Structures are given as C-alpha cells and as structure tokens.
Amino acid sequence: MKFFIDTADVDEIREWNSTGLIDGVTTNPSLILKSGRQIDEALAEICAIVDGPVSGEVTAIDTIGMISQGKTLAKIADNICIKLPLTMDGLKACKALSDEGFKTNVTLCFSANQALLAAKAGATYISPFIGRLDDINIDGMELIEEIRAIYDNYGFETQLLAASLRTANHVKDCAIAGADVATIPPSTLGKLVAHPLTDKGLAAFLADWEKTGQSIG
C-alpha cells in the first residue's frame, strides 16, 4: 500500500519524505489555509520535494471552472494531480481532464455508487472519507471494502485512496481491505511506528548490553 501524507506543511513533508516512506501528498483548501501559503507557491515547493503525485484541489463548482482551474494547477509541476469534488460537475470535469491525460483525484466520496461513477469517469484516484462516516455512526471501513469489491469485479484502474484516516487502526484495516493508497496526516503517521513493547524491549536490551562492558566499532 502506498502512503501519501495529508498536509500542506512543507517542513513536515520534507521531514517525512526523507524517511523514504512517503509516495505522494494530498492537500485541500483547508490545509492550504492552515499552511498560510499561496496555493501555487506551496504546491510548487511540495512538488519539488516529492517525486510522487501531489493533489491540488480546485475551488470552482461548475464544470468549465473546474477544468480551467485544474489545467492551471497542472502547469505548476508534472506531478500535480487535479483534485475534484464528487458532484455531477466534478465528474464531468474528471472525464474531460482524464481524457486529456491529466491525473485526477475525485474527493469527498461517501458511497460506493459515487465511487463507481468516478471510476467510469476515468478518475486516477477515488478518495472515500472514512473518519467522517465514523463521525455519523456509519462504518467507514465498510465503504472501503465495497469499493474494493466493485473495482475488482470490473477491472477498473482507478486507485482506491483511503482518506480521512485518524487512527493507526484505520491504516491497518485499509491495508487489510486492499486500499491502494492511504493518505495520512503526520500525527497519525507517527503513531504507526509506536508500540510500548518495542520501547520496553529496547530499554531491556540496552541495559543488558551496558552490563557487558562491550562496544561495537
């Protein structure tokens, strides 16, 4: 499973990219606002750091406007992926942009039917939001499983990009369900490596090593 980092904070992206564990980046208007940066400047810097796809989201709500904004964003760098909302206008824009060879990420997906439409529109990625479904007492992971089954049934090439991941268990469950990509905020990424038994075991090993009086190198 590929890991995308969900942030527009360039320092966090640079730090995580240095680990070699990050395959791409997702941003949205809220993350751009949080960064305090101009969208074109932020995306250009992010694209220079990360080799993989970087999602930049349109803000127009009509098809023509989305297509125009999408092409403007795509000029920033070759690895820009145009992020579009899952509305009828967004699907039309997705079809038009995909047909022209642009990479697209259809976002704010909350049902399997929506994901089916996005795949038929040629989306490069579909972004179902797990955490926001959990917030209203709907099991977001069921949506990942449903989309995976539908895409496999018909051989759709659209990649399943699990979004709104808030816990380490979300990431694990998405991997089990067969999501192609997980986009993860930095705070959650850090939790994937943490385990109290790892810390306890390492402390015990180091204490015993110190008692040997030896050194390596």
| pLDDT value of position 147 | 98
Is 41 part of a structural domain of the chain?
yes
* pTM reported for the whole predicted model: 0.94
| pLDDT value of position 168 | 96
Is 138 part of a structural domain of the chain?
yes
Is 30 part of a structural domain of the chain?
yes
- Identified catalytic residue from 2, 34, 71, 83: 83
| pLDDT value of position 81 | 98
Using DSSP's 3-state secondary structure scheme, residue 49 falls into helix
| pLDDT value of position 1 | 97
Is 114 part of a structural domain of the chain?
yes
Is 217 part of a structural domain of the chain?
no
| pLDDT value of position 27 | 98
CATH number, residue 80:
3.20.20.70
Is 142 part of a structural domain of the chain?
yes
- Tokens 């995580």 -> residue: 16
Is 38 part of a structural domain of the chain?
yes
What angle, 0 to 180 degrees and rounded to 10, lies between the N-to-C axes of helices 88-99 and 63-74? 40
CA distance 208 to 33: 50
| Range(s) of the domain holding residue 206 | 2-212
Give average pLDDT by consecutive 10-residue segment, the chain, 217 residues: 98 97 97 96 98 98 98 98 98 98 98 98 98 95 98 98 96 98 96 96 97 95
CA distance 135 to 177: 20
DSSP string, 69-114: HHHHHHTT-TTEEEEEESSHHHHHHHHHHHHTT--EEEEEE-SHHH
121 burial level (CB within 10 Å; 0-12, 13-18, 19+): buried
**Is 83 among the residues known to form the active site?**
yes
Total tally of structural domains belonging to the chain? 1
